[in-house]
Structure 1
Amino acid sequence: MKVIFAGTPEFAATALKDLHEAGFEIPLVLTQPDRPAGRGMQMHASAVKQYAQQHGIEVLQPLSLRMDSKDPQRAAEAKAAHERLLATDYDVMVVAAYGLILPRSTLDIKPCINIHGSLLPRWRGAAPIHRAIEAGDDETGVTIMQMEEGLDTGPMLAIERTPIEAGDSTASLHDKLARLGGKMIVETLRKMQQQPLEAVPQPEAGVTYAAKIAKEEAALDFSLPALELGLKIRAFNPFPGACGQVDGITIKIWAADVLEADSKEAPGQVLAADAQHGIVVACGNGSLRLTELQKPGGKRLPAAEFIKGFPLEGKRFV
C-alpha cells in the first residue's frame, strides 16, 4: 500500500514515523509551509517535514489546496499540488493535524483517512485535546475516519478510548494520543490491505466543537471556581500557557493543585507564599496551590524556587 501523508506538528510526525517504520511506501508528504518561530523568528520547518527530509521522502508545502482561491499565488500552488497528486501513484492519503482544508478536488482523487484526537463526534475541530481537558472529560481517545467535506463529520473506521488522568496536561495527553494514533493508523491500513473496512456513521447525538485556542484565553479570571481554573491551567500547558498578573507583571502558571477550602479574601489574593504552604491563591470558590510558575524571561520553576526570586506574600493576582 502506497500512502501520501499530510500533516504538520509532532502529533502528525509520530504517525508518519510509525507508518514509515511499519514498511508502508510513502512517495510524498504534504505539510504546512515553513514558519518563523522562536525569539529570533527564524524560519522553522514542521516536525513532519523534518522527519520526511531525514528519511529522503519528497515534501510538498503548498499554501493552499483550493484551486478556486481568490489569491493568485495560493490558487497557483493549489493547482500545482493537485497536478502532483494526480501524477503520484498512491492508494490512500493519511491526514493528521495538517492545518489546511482538503477540498473536494483532493478528496475525490483517492480515499482520504484522518487521525483525529478525540472520541468523535465529541470535539470536532482544531483543538480536541485542549478542550477535552478544559471541559473536565474523564476520557478521550483517537478516531480514524474517512474524510468528507464537513468538519470531522466522516464515518468512522476505528475508535479507541483512553482515560484522562488527574495529572494530565495537554502536553502529556498529546503524547499519549499521538502514540495511540500512530498505532491505530498502522493497524487500520493493514486491515484495509486484507479486506474493505466497515465505515460506521458518527452518532447524531453528542456533537461538540473544539474551537482553536486563542492567546487571549490564557489570562485566568480568579473569580471563577478553583476547579475550573485548575482545568484551564492543565489544558493550556504547553500553549498558550495560563497566566495572571501581579503588580503589572505577567506570570505564567504551568501547574496547580485544586484546594477545596474557601477564603474570605478577594479572588486572586495570595493566601500563602512560603516553603511550608506553597503558593496558595484565593478563587471564586475554593483555592489553588500553584506548583510551577515562570516570570518573563525566566525559567519554569517549582513554587519554592520561584518565590525566592519573586516574593508573592501579600500580593494579588489579577
Structure 2
Amino acid sequence: MDQLNMKVLYFGNNLFSNCLTFMVNQGFSVEAVYINDVEENASIVKRICGIHKIMTHSLRPTKEELDEYIKSGVTLFVVADYGYRLPITDIKYAFNIHPSLLPKGRGPTPLTYIVDLPEFAGVSIHKITYMLDGGDILLQEQFEVGQNESISSLMVKSSLLAESLLQTLLNDLETIYESATPQQKRLATYWKQPSIERRIMSWLNDTQQFRQAIRQYGHFGILITIYEELFIVSQLEVADFKHDYKLGSIIFEDQALISVAMNGGFAVVFKSSMVLVNSAVLGKRNNNHTP
C-alpha cells in the first residue's frame, strides 16, 4: 500500500498512542486526530500531534464533518482507545483496535476484567459497524498473562501487540479487509464500565482483597479513607502483618509515606499519589466513554 498517498483520520487517546506514532513514521498522512478523554489520558497523543503539526479535535465528530474529510481524500479511519461511536459514513476503510479477544469483552474498559479472565487477553482489530465492537475481525492475537499481573502491565502488552498487528494489517490492508471474519454473536459478552463503587476500599477489607483491587484498578486509582477524608490513590503497597491496631488508624507517617492498619496487615500509601476526592475529580477519573 502506498502510505504516502493515504489520508487518515485517527481517533484515540493514550493507550494505543504508539500506533499513532507508527503511522506517522511510516508516512501516512494523518489529517487530524480526535480525542475525547480527560487531559491526563490524552496527553501523549496531544504531544505527538504537536511535534508533527497534526490538528486535534476534542468535540465529538458529526457525520457532516467526517463527510467533508472523506471528500478531501481521506480513505481510512483508525479508532484506538476512543470512547465515542462514530457516525456511519461511506469511508473506504474503518477499523477499531480493541484490547480483548472479541467477541469476548466488548465494551469500554475490558482490561479491568482481563485481570480476572486472562484467557481472553489479547488484541482484536475489527471493522467498524453500527454495532459497538461487533464488526468483522481483521486480525486477532492472544497474549499470556502472568501471575499477579496488574492492569498497568496488561496495558503495555496490549499496546505493543496492537502496534505489531497494525503493521501487519497496513502492509496488506485491501486483502485482509476483504477477507475479514464475522464475529460469532452467540459467544459475545459485553463488559460494562466498572462503577466507582467497585474502586472504594474499606480498611475492613483484608490484604488479599486490597491486592486484587490494586491489580484491577490501581492504574486509575482506588478510593480509601484517611483522616476521615476520601482520597483516590494510585500508588500503595500492602503487607501482611499481625497487629492489634484499630483498623483505619495511622501507624506510621513521614514526608513521603503514610501507613494505615487494615484487616490482616497494613497499607503503605505514597503521599504524592493521593488526590482528595470531590465530585469534579470523580467525574473525570471515572472516565467518559460514551456510545
Preserved contact between residue 65 and residue 102 of structure 1 (Cα < 8 Å) = yes
Partner of 2:60: 64
In the TM superposition, what is the alpha-carbon distance from 1:160 to its structure 2 partner?
A: 1.0
In the comparison of the two structures, how many residue pairs are matched? Answer: 264
Quick one: percent identity of the two aligned structures?
21
The Cα offsets for residues 213-250 of structure 1, whole Å up to 9 and x where unpaired, read as 444432114666754542221111221x1132244144
Counterpart CA distance in 1 for 2:69 and 2:234 is 45
Distance 1:3 1:265 in 2: 65
- Looking at CA atoms only, which structure, 1 or 2, has the larger radius of gyration? 1
Matching residue's letter, 1:124? R
Q: 1:82 aligns with which of 43, 46, 66?
A: 66
Secondary structure of 1:234's counterpart equals: helix
Contact 1:3 1:93 in 2 (8 A): no
Q: Tell me the equivalent position of 1:154.
A: 135
- Which residue is 1:293 aligned to? 269
Partner of 2:277: none
Partners of 1:267 and 1:131 in 2: how far apart?
Answer: 33
Cα deviations by residue, 1:252-281 (Å, 9 ceiling, x for unpaired): 36355697x9x99999578x979xxx9773
TM-score when normalising by structure 2: 0.74
8 Å Cα contact 2:12-2:36 kept in structure 1: no
In structure 2, the residue matched to 1:114 is 96
**Structure 1 residues 121-140: aligned runs within 5 Å:** 121-133=103-115, 135-138=116-119, 140=121
> Cα RMSD between the aligned structures?
3.6
Q: Name the SS for the 2:212 alignment partner.
A: helix
Query: Superposition pairs for residues 213-252 of structure 1, below 5 Å?
Result: 213-221=194-202, 227-239=208-220, 241-250=221-230, 252=233
Letter aligned with residue 149 of structure 1: Y
Q: Is the 8 A contact 1:230 1:258 kept in 2?
A: no
Question: Bigger relative contact order, structure 1 or 2, given CA contacts below 8 A and separation 6+?
Answer: 2
Instruction: List per-residue Cα deviations over 1:130-188 (Å, max 9, x = no partner).
Output: 2222x353551100111101110111111111122234222222122111111111111
TM-score by length of 1: 0.69
Q: Secondary structure at the match of 1:125?
A: coil
**Alignment CA distance shift 1:33-1:130 (3 Å):** closer
Distance in 2 of aligned mates of 1:266 and 1:197: 65
1:94 corresponds to 2:82: no
Q: How has the CA–CA distance of structure 1 residues 60 and 152 changed in structure 2, closer, same or farther, with 3 Å as cutoff?
A: same
Q: Of 189, 193, 204, which aligns to 2:185?
A: 204
Give distance in 1, aligned partners of 2:236 and 2:37: 31
Higher helix share: 2
> What letter matches 1:144 in structure 2?
I
**Are the structure 2 counterparts of residues 122 and 230 from structure 1 closer, same or farther at C-alpha, using a change threshold of 3 Å?**
farther
2:28 maps to 25
Distance 2:243 2:209 in 1: 19
- Given that 2:8 and 2:74 are in contact with CA atoms closer than 8 Å, whether structure 1 keeps it comes out as yes
CA distance in 1, matches of 2:96, 2:112: 19
CA distance in structure 2 between the partners assigned to 1:228 and 1:139 by the alignment: 22
Q: Match for 2:125: what amino acid?
A: I
- Structure 2: gaps (5+ residues): 254-258, 275-291
Match of 1:144 in 2: 125
**d(CA) in 2 for partners of 1:258, 1:206:** 40
Q: Secondary structure at the residue paired with 2:16?
A: helix
Shift, 1:193, TM fit: 4.9
1:99 positional shift: 2.2
Give 1:192's match in structure 2, choosing from 139, 157, 173: 173
1:99 maps to a residue whose letter is G
Is contact 2:224-2:230 (8 Å) kept? yes
